[in-house]
Chains A and B, each alone.
Chain A
Amino acid sequence: MVNTRILASEFEYFEPRTINEAVNLLAKYGQEARVLAGGSDLIVDMKVEKVNPKYLIYIGKIPELRSIAKVGNEVVVGANATFFDLIKSPLLQSFPILLEALKSIQLEIKMMGTIGGNICSAAPTASTATPLLVLNAWVKVVSARGSRTIPIEKVYVGNRKTSLAPDELLTEIHLPVLDSRYGAAFGEIKTKIKFAVVIGRRRDVCEHCRIAIGGDVEVAKRVEKAEKLLEGKVFNERAIEEACDAVVEEIDPDNWYVREVAKYLFPKVVREAWGKAR
C-alpha cells in the first residue's frame, strides 16, 4: 500500500513565468519532466507511483495561459483555464454542451482542474473530451522547435495517451462557434458512458451529424460509422436504431452493463440534439 498522506517522490521543481521559459525547460528535460497544472490527476498519479518525473514544471504562474477570448468566429481558451473559469465565462455560454459536461465535476475539482490538464490526461472518461470532439475543437501546442495545431480527435491517440511530443506544451484550445442552426446535446451516466452529439437538419432529413463517445471505452472518439448512418437520411426511429447499434459496437462486448445503458442513453441524446436543430 502506498501512503497517500504524503507525496514521497522527489523532483526538481520549476515555476516558469512565460510560455517561452516553460518550453525551454521542456526542451531540456522533456522525457523526464511532467507539466503540473491543477494537480488533481498528476499528484494522484505521482502518489501512487504511476509516474515518477524527475522534473516538475508548474504552469500556474503563466498568466497568458489562463485567458479566454473571442477571436473571429472562435473562442480561444488558455490551457490553464480552470473548469470554474469556463463555467463563469460569458464567452463559454455559447457552448452549452461543454458546460453541461462540466456540471458533474465536484466543486473542488472545478476550482483546481484545467481544460488543458483534462485534455493531456487523455482519460476516456474526461469531462471535456466528448463535447470538444463534436465541437470540432483544435489545440495549439508549442515547443522550442516551433508551434503546430492539432484537431482534437488527433490528440487522443490511446488510453491516457496523447500525440504531444515530450517537449511540447499545450497552450490554447480553439472552439469554433457552432452554426446557430445546429442542435447539440450531451448526456452521461456517471463515468460509465458519455455521448455528445451535434446535428444539422433540413426538414426531416439529418444533413450533418457528429457523434462522440467517452466513458468506459479505450479512448474518447468520434464514431464516424454511426454519423454516416444518420447523415443524408430521414431522421426516424429506424435510423436512430442503426446508429445506436454502430455506437454500441465501440463498447467491449463483455461490458454488458455499459452496453445496456448506452442503448438507453444514446437515442435520448440524439433526439435531444435533433430537437434543438433548426
Chain B
Amino acid sequence: MIFMEERKIRLKVNGKDCELSVKPNELLLNVLRNKLGLTGTKYGCGTGDCGACTVLINNEPRLSCLTLAVTVDGAEITTIEGLATNGKLHPIQEAFVKHGAIQCGFCIPGIVIMAKGLLDINPNPTVEEIKEALKGHLCRCTGYINIIKAIKAAALEVSKG
C-alpha cells in the first residue's frame, strides 16, 4: 500500500476560481463530476476512444478521463456548463439545437466542446476537416450528418461575431 498524499491544486473552472484537494490518481473527469458537480462532462469508454469526456484545458480540447487532475494545477478548464453566457446559449449550442444534431445527447457535450476547440484554431473548417476532427467522437444515434451541418453553421455564426 502506497501512501498517496493529497495535493492542493487551483483551477479556474468555467471562469470560477477553485481550490481543491486531490489524490495523484484522481482523474480530472471525476474531479469535475464528483467534486464540482459538473456532470455535463461524460464518462464513455475511459480509454480515449469515444471523446465523451472532452473538456477545454487552457483552450485546448483534451480528454479529462486520461488526465490526472494534479497535472493541470493552475489551468483554466471549460466544460459544457461554461459555454453559455448570461443565460444565452453559445452559437455552437444554438446550431446543434437548430439542426437537430442531438438525439440521446450523451456524446454531445464532448462534441460541442471539441467543436469550440476546433473553431478556435480553425474558424472556417471544411466538411472534411470537421469529419477529421470528429473521428475521436463516437455517436451511435445521429449518424453525424446533422452534427457536421451544425458545426458548419456555427462556424459561419461565430465568424460573423
A binds B: yes
Q: Does A263 contact B (CB under 8 A)?
A: no
Which residues of A from 10 to 64 have beta carbons under 8 Å from B? 10-13, 15, 36, 39-40, 43-44, 47-48, 54, 56, 58, 60
A107 B71 Cβ-Cβ under 8 A:
no
User: Total A-B residue pairs with C-beta atoms closer than 8 Å?
Assistant: 96
Among candidates A3, A36, A111, residue contacting B71 with C-beta atoms closer than 8 Å: A36
**Main secondary structure on B side of the interface with A:** mixed
Collect the chain A residues with CB atoms within 8 Å of residue B104's CB. Answer: none
A106 B62 Cβ-Cβ under 8 A:
no
Q: Does B67 contact A (CB under 8 A)?
A: yes
Known: A6-B30, A10-B4, A56-B24. A108 touches B63 (CB 8 A): yes
A16 → chain B, closest Cβ, in Å?
Answer: 13
**Main secondary structure on A side of the interface with B:** loop
The 8 A CB mask of A90-109 against B (1 = contact, 0 = none) is: 00000000000001101111
* Count of A interface residues, CB-CB < 8 Å: 32
Known: A39-B68, A106-B136, A107-B61. A10 touches B1 (CB 8 A): yes
Task: Tell me the bound Cα distance from A109 to B136 in angstroms.
Answer: 9
Q: Which residues of B contact A (CB under 8 A)?
A: 1-4, 7, 24-27, 29-30, 43, 45-48, 51, 54, 57, 60-63, 65-68, 70-71, 114, 117-118, 132-133, 135-136
9 interchain pairs (CB within 8 A)?
A3-B46, A9-B25, A13-B68, A40-B66, A43-B66, A54-B2, A58-B68, A107-B117, A107-B133
